[in-house]
Structure 1
Amino acid sequence: MNTNINMGVRRFGRVNWLGTWTLARREVMRFMNVWSQTLMAPLINAGLLLMIFTIAIGPQRGDVMGVPFMVFLAPGILTMTVIQNAFANTSSSMASAKVQGNIVDTLMPPLSAGELLVGYMGGAVARGAMVGAVIALGSWLFLGVGMMQPLWVILFVVLGSVFMGGLGLIAGIFANKFDQLSAISNFIVTPLAFLSGTFYSIEALPQLMQTLCHINPFFYIIDGVRYGMIGVSDSSPWIGLGVVAVSAALVLAVCWRWLDRGYRLKS
């Protein structure tokens, strides 16, 4: 039995633009209202990581892929922060709505599964882009790391935020308790982000680990942003773009299906 979210007759045309925009705006305002936790805290953490690596390693590390270590490190920390925040935005929004019992406020309006998905992704992309823009500005001011290929940076930040926002939505729908959501974040998302070339070139890894990295979408997001910022990468940005785009499409398809069926949302 197909339990679609919207059972009534739509009176807003083929696309409910107002409802979709309202949901996206709600998602943005949700994290902006607690900006000190959702925006300032990740920025401080990223700054502390850069400072610690500068003090602990600095010029002693030598060049990585032909660039100073701190220049190599900056895009990795930027991307890691972006994808973690995109994941956190959708996962916490959906999980909070389920735990607090107000998910009905999202399901009742005349919004299709696709419109719900676009609204949630709007919040994830906005949060990821805001965090990324500020870290990029700080990297330019304090480390002199600019944007050699800005279009590539934008593409990978947006696609990476969509991919991680979709994963966050899946985690939020699946989890019935915050403990389950924390487990997914701590044991899946964070390790994959740390083990995907954030702090090093994967050329330094054993062959088996390199192979595993090349099937990990997280690696291609980080590698693509690094290529756009400093012009070096472990793989072709075109291959990375394809892998991330396909991965995002698959994740969004799962999200759409679950929203369309009301999976773990109506019970």
Structure 2
Amino acid sequence: MSLAYHELKASYAFVERNINLVKRYWGWEVVWMLYTIANSLAVVLIAKGTNSAIGTEALADAQIDAFILFLAIGALVWHYLAVVFQTVSEMISWERWEGTIEYTFMAPVRRGTHMVGTALFSLVYGLLHTAVVLVVIVLVFDLDMGNANYVSATAVLVAGSLSLVGIGIMGAVLPLLYPERGAEMTHVIQAALVLISGIYIKAGDMPEPLATMSIFSPARYVIEGIRSALIDGKGFGDLWLTIVGLIASGFVMIPAGVWVFSMGERYAKRTGRLKRSG
């Protein structure tokens, strides 16, 4: 019991450290929030301007509203997943910026504990960030969310976050091994997930080989599950298989991510890459 309490306390220390970093760089957080809101609104405006773009009134208001909600959910879910992924994958870059990377890796803390603390912060931070953007979109476009099941949508989101945390931990090895451009390299992984996960189109309707590749993306099932919950009002009874599948995927991806990162950490220590910044 004392060991579990010690590890939990150590994990919370990383949560608290990240909270303090957010407070320190609050100006960046404001800019990032405004950018996210503007980007999400721009995506939803694509649906709003469909009739104007094609020069006809072919789509009824109800169809336009459904299209708006479809794109809004895709943009919001991707934003949340991107926040979770970036927070975890860029933790090495944060350590280098702060000049604490050597102290962190020398501390008597299990690497899994380190990762869990960072992941917990990313989940809470991502949920709060996305909730703000959702409120803005609903107010600006006057969306009808009366049929939405927020409880099951949140369950799908949290369950799906586990897999993204695992992928993010794997991505974190890139800034560790490549100090000069490693952080930028993680954006390639993120862009690939955007391409195959059905953010702006149903995954099954994408051309091949993208449709087949999307089968292996956890983000696809997160987006489809949340659309079912928020658009169709589906509850746990309808989405339990998706939730269980995402949790199972997370239990595989997180240990795999920690293992990959541990291997990269040992290599970085042997080759003197921890403190190198250029």
In structure 1, distance between residues paired with 2:97 and 2:225:
36
Map 1:141-220 to 2 at 5 A: 141=139, 142-146=142-146, 148-175=148-175, 176-177=178-179, 179-185=181-187, 187-206=188-207, 209-220=210-221
For residue 13 of structure 2, what is the aligned residue in structure 1? 22
Name the CA shift for 1:226/1:64 in 2 (closer, same or farther; >3 Å). farther
For residue 8 of structure 1, what is the aligned residue in structure 2? none
Contact 2:162 2:246 in 1 (8 A): no
RMSD, aligned α-carbons:
3.1
Superposition deviation, residue 227 in structure 1: 1.4
Contact 1:42 1:131 in 2 (8 A): no
For residue 69 of structure 2, what is the aligned residue in structure 1? 71
In structure 2, distance between residues paired with 1:64 and 1:206:
27
For residue 34 of structure 2, what is the aligned residue in structure 1? 40
Name the CA shift for 1:51/1:29 in 2 (closer, same or farther; >3 Å). farther
User: So what's the TM-score if we normalise by structure 2?
Assistant: 0.76
Q: Deviations over 1:199-238 (max 9, x none)?
A: 12234334754333222212111111111211279xx734
In structure 2, distance between residues paired with 1:200 and 1:260:
37
Contact 1:146 1:230 in 2 (8 A): no
The equivalent position to 1:126 in structure 2, one of 124, 127, 132, is 124
SS state of the match for residue 148, structure 1? coil
Superposition deviation, residue 265 in structure 1: 4.9
In structure 1, distance between residues paired with 2:20 and 2:160:
21
The amino acid across from 1:130 in the alignment is L
Instruction: Work out the percentage of aligned pairs sharing the same amino acid.
Output: 18
Superposition deviation, residue 27 in structure 1: 1.9
Superposition deviation, residue 77 in structure 1: 0.9
Q: Deviations over 1:161-185 (max 9, x none)?
A: 3332332222122332352332331
In structure 2, distance between residues paired with 1:31 and 1:131:
12
In structure 2, distance between residues paired with 1:207 and 1:239:
26
Contact 2:166 2:255 in 1 (8 A): no
The equivalent position to 2:101 in structure 1, one of 100, 103, 106, is 103
In structure 1, distance between residues paired with 2:102 and 2:147:
43
* Unpaired stretches in structure 1, ≥5 consecutive residues: 1-11
In structure 1, distance between residues paired with 2:257 and 2:203:
31
Contact 2:172 2:261 in 1 (8 A): no
Superposition deviation, residue 62 in structure 1: 6.0
In structure 1, distance between residues paired with 2:232 and 2:73:
11
Superposition deviation, residue 63 in structure 1: 8.9
Superposition deviation, residue 57 in structure 1: 5.0
Matched positions, count: 253
SS state of the match for residue 237, structure 1? helix
In structure 2, distance between residues paired with 1:140 and 1:163:
28
Name the CA shift for 1:260/1:120 in 2 (closer, same or farther; >3 Å). same
In structure 2, distance between residues paired with 1:126 and 1:263:
30
Structure having the higher helix fraction is: 2
In structure 2, distance between residues paired with 1:147 and 1:103:
47
Contact 2:147 2:231 in 1 (8 A): yes
In structure 2, distance between residues paired with 1:222 and 1:63:
24
